[in-house]
Structure formats: C-alpha cells, structure tokens
Amino acid sequence: MVPTKQLQFAVNADEVSALLSTPKNPRWLLVLAHGAGAGMTHPFLQNLSDQLNSAGIATLRYQFPYMEQRRGAPDKPAVLTATVAAAVQAAKKAAPGLPLLGGGKSMGGRMTSQAASQELLEDVRGLVFFGFPLHPPGNPGTKRADHLAKVPIPMLFLQGTRDTFANLELLRPVCATLGTRATVHIIDSADHSFHVLKSSGTTDSAVLDQLAQTTAGWADKLAVK
C-alpha cells in the first residue's frame, strides 16, 4: 500500500485539498488535476494514481475551488490556472527532491497546459494529458489547442480512438505543428474515460496500466535529454 498524505494549499482567498501518494524510490512527481465533472477522489483518478505509483511516479492529486466547495460549474479559467500553479508550488514544497510533471484528466490537463503557456509552472519538465479535450462532443474544432504553441516543454497526449472530445483527424495535425514537443499515444477502442469495448480484447485495468507505463517511459526519456 502506497502511503498517501492529505495536504491543503491556498488559492487566492480559498483553500483546497490535495492527496500526495509517494511510492518507494519514485523517479517523478506528477501534479495531477481532475476533470470537470469529478474530483480528485474519483475512482479513475484513484486507480490511475495507483498504477502511476507502481510505475515509479508519485502523484499529487488536488481539488479546484469549485469542486472543493461542491459547486456545480467550474471556476473561471484564471482561477483554474492559478490553482494549477499553486498545486505545483505545493508539490515542490512537499517533495523537494523530485522532478515534476504536470497534467490531468480532460479539463484538468487543458488548464495545466494553459498555465504552462502563461509561464506559471516553474520547474515542471513535461505535461501529460489523459484525454485532451480538443472540442466539445459533436462540435469539432481546434481552438482549444491554440495556446499549445506557447507551451515550451514536452507534452504527452494519451488518447482513445472513441474519444468524442478529440477527433484524432484534428488532433494529429495539431500535434504535428508542435514538432518534437508533442508525443501522441493512441489507445484502441478507448473512450474519453478510457473505457474499452469488450470486443477490444483488453480491459479497463490493462488500459490504466498502459497509461501509467507509457507515462513513465516517456518521462524517463525526458530525464536523459
């Protein structure tokens, strides 16, 4: 069982909760943001954190203020990016010896990239997107990716072929414009929540392991550059 420590940190006039999970001999610490509709204790994030821990990556999961206060609608983008920046500072304080990654599920990953594009994430070495929400379902477009050109660090896009929030025919060209900063890993038959079809020949549990192992392998290559 990986030890998990409860933390709190300030975001403007608010305080939010966080969970730091640290395996033995971790190589990285991933500051992991939740998606729009569920907080840091959602089973997906909990299970993902467990798999990342098994792959040698510590995690700091945290709440955005609206989720902490049990409000329905997400905070304004400025508050969300400020929360990401504050979470990174909390991670540096909690585990000062570990190199940092940022990222998150869906909206959490996009807000992390927004913060990075605004140069708010000092010392973060790379970003990991667990389902980058390129556009709303049924409304394809790429405007949500415009800021990625200003992100100066490597990015890993983990995407399912059935993800209705990211048409791969749109996402792949976006990532191509980012050059070597972008790596795309496609998971066949996975949807936006990384559920897979029974006919796929794999399981949701195996997909979580693939997400974690892919993240670890990508991050370790960053370390040798």
Taking only the tens place, the pLDDT of each residue in 173-192 is 999 999 999 999 999 999 99
Closest by CA to 144, choosing from 154, 156, 132, 152, is: 132
- Contact predicate 156/175, CB 8 Å: no
Closest by CA to 127, choosing from 175, 82, 173, 182, is: 182
Residue 125, classed as helix, strand or coil, is: strand
Token pair of 152, please?
Answer: 């100066």
Q: Can you give the pLDDT at residue 72?
A: 85
Taking only the tens place, the pLDDT of each residue in 28-75 is 999 999 999 999 999 999 999 999 999 999 999 999 999 999 998 999
Distance CA 181, CA 126 (A): 9
Domain range annotation of the chain: 4-223
- Contact predicate 130/194, CB 8 Å: yes
Token pair 């990211």 is at which residue?
166
The domain 4-223 is placed in CATH, from the list 3.40.50.1820, 3.40.630.30, 3.10.270.10, 3.40.50.12780, at 3.40.50.1820
